[in-house]
Amino acid sequence: MKRIRYTKYNGELADDMDLEDLMQQLSEYLLDSGFQDPYARFQELNGEHTLENLREALREALELGDFDPDIRERLDQMAAEGEIDQLIDKLVRRMEQQDYVRIDQPADPTQPSNSPGQVGEGEGQARFEVTDKSLDFLGYKTLQDLLGSLGRSSAGRHDTLHQATGVETNGSVRPYEFGDTLNLDANATLAAAMTAQAANSDGDGVTWPIEIDYPHLHVQQSDYQSSCATVVMLDCSHSMILYGEDRFTPAKRVAMALSHLIRTQYPGDTLNVVLFHDSAEEVPVSQIARVKVGPHYTNTREGLRLARSILNRQRKEMRQIVMITDGKPSALTLPDGRIYKNAFGLDPLVLSETLEEVARCRRAGILINTFMLATDPGLVQFVQRVSAMCRGKAYFTTPQTLGNYLMMDFLNRKMKTVH
């Protein structure tokens, strides 16, 4: 009689490890914003995305990361046997195969080149790039943490108290009106046609065929759901990593989480990202995690102008600007393109031009909600005036609570009737 003997499976540890858990362990390194903290993890790597730095980050994550007891025991055993380097190489290959990272090898100086010029003797370093799949996963994990802290397991669309003839019905019907979506309620329509026919039959009752005309049409009603266009204005001036704390990385994480939430739960909404510093520019949502802090000044007016221009192109019932900043306006783009800068107090010229842009946003029906990461008196005074002008909200928050405040504001907005 043939027998089969079963033994404990001892597969490759590199294949058994969950790459998503590993990516979460590496998130501080992958989302580095340029903050120099001697006590932070991966600080000695300076945020450089070289292949050697990726190996060192993996080594540190494997040594200090939080893993299951079985995985931790196997890691300690491999470390004692000097096999960690082989494990890291296999993990890098697996991360590349599953599209978490993309590795660019340096050109081989011994091979002929098709480009003009001569190849120097310097040694190039292999580099890697974080893929959109990795950034989307990190945004999802941030969103999961934020919604978990708010006591929410899922989020739906922007429900309102108003009713319309949409797709998701709520059980009620009404007579059809010109312009309604033709979600006919067959029972109510037939009942109206039969009642009208019986009333006009001189007591003969309902006869066949039943003629249905426009007055008989009834449509099912649904809960009206509005769509929203959002521009996140991220202050990436140098002050976001000064004064002993990193304020920019938490802001990036929240923007990534908001992007994931809108794409997966609010498909009718749009999200754009504007960075403002000495000037302002729009960046693709997929590039948020790769952004680092820039120049020293804060050109709030240029950021608002660009955000308003983006929202004016959107045909949505709701349009809003979410501004995350830690500094008062200190720069202004002049008509000739030069940038006027003054970091001392609230400059009257900078303040007046910025508030004029706020007024333009208000006239365009754009709401501005501001999340302040500092309590500088100049910033408080400016934000209070912005909130009073556009009837928006101002939140005094910290990098640790920014995500909670922003998500609560986004999920709990009250909708207005759109006629």
If one compares 225 and 83, the residue with the highest pLDDT of the two is 83
pTM tops 0.95: no
The stretch 144-158 carries a mean pLDDT of 55
Q: What are the C-alpha distances in Å from 320 to residues 45, 74, 177, 367?
A: 38, 51, 32, 5
How far apart, in Å, are the Cα atoms of 62 and each of 21, 59, 74, 141? 11, 5, 11, 20
Closest CA to 276 of 242, 301, 250: 301
pLDDT tens figures, 41-77? 777 777 788 889 889 989 888 888 888 888 888 888 8
Please tell me the distance from the alpha carbon of residue 120 to that of residue 216, in angstroms, as a whole number.
83
The pair of three-digit structure tokens given for residue 362, joined into one six-digit string: 């208000």
Which pLDDT band holds residue 278 (cuts at 50, 70, 90)?
very high
pLDDT number for residue 408: 77
82: left (phi over 0), alpha (psi -120 to 50) or beta: left
pLDDT-based confidence at residue 356 (cuts at 50, 70, 90): very high
Asked whether the predicted pLDDT for residue 238 surpasses 50, the reply is yes
Q: What is the pLDDT of residue 195?
A: 85
Arithmetic mean of pLDDT, 12-26: 85
Long-range CB contacts (within 8 A, 24+) of 16-23: 16/71, 17/67, 17/71, 17/91, 19/91, 19/94, 19/95, 19/98, 19/100, 20/137, 21/67, 22/58, 22/61, 22/65, 22/91, 22/95, 23/100, 23/134, 23/137, 23/138
Give the residue with greater pLDDT, 409 vs 355: 355
Q: Check whether 349 has a pLDDT greater than 60.
A: yes
Distance CA 300, CA 285 (A): 20
Give residue 363's pLDDT.
Answer: 93
Q: What is the mean pLDDT of the chain?
A: 79
